[in-house]
Amino acid sequence: MPSPDDMVWRLVGMAGAALTTFAYIPQIVKVWRHRSARSLSLQSLVQLSVGVFFWMVYGLYLRDPIIAGANFITLVSLLVLTVLYLVYRKR
């Protein structure tokens, strides 16, 4: 059975994962509503996506569902944002 300290740190990790996982949803909504991606940097999106992918792989290696799952969802969000960038970049 995990100790109370372990549970606290697990909750801290889950809170951090939840906040960062859904951090790009407002940006996706903004690009979608305005049909414009002028303020986005493709280089930044690609670099962050690669970093998140590596975090996801690391989470899988550790068999840590919080790290792997949060980064998988974040990667999907970033890929959606990248597609929106490619569609709306000239607007």
Give the DSSP letter string of 3-17.
Answer: -HHHHHHHHHHHHHH
Tell me the two tokens of residue 60: 């899988």
Task: Please give the model's pTM, rounded to 2 decimal places.
Answer: 0.86
Q: pLDDT tens digits for 22-52?
A: 999 999 999 999 999 988 999 999 999 999 9
What residues contact residue 10 under an 8 Å CB cut-off, 6+ apart? Answer: 2, 66
Other CB atoms within 10 A of residue 41 CB: 11
pLDDT at 65: 93
What value does the mean pLDDT of the chain take? 93
How many structural domains comprise the chain? 1
Judge whether residue 87 has pLDDT over 90: yes
Residue with structure tokens 């809170």?
15
Domain enclosing residue 9, as ranges? 4-88
pLDDT score at 35: 94
CATH number of the domain enclosing 68: 1.20.1280.290
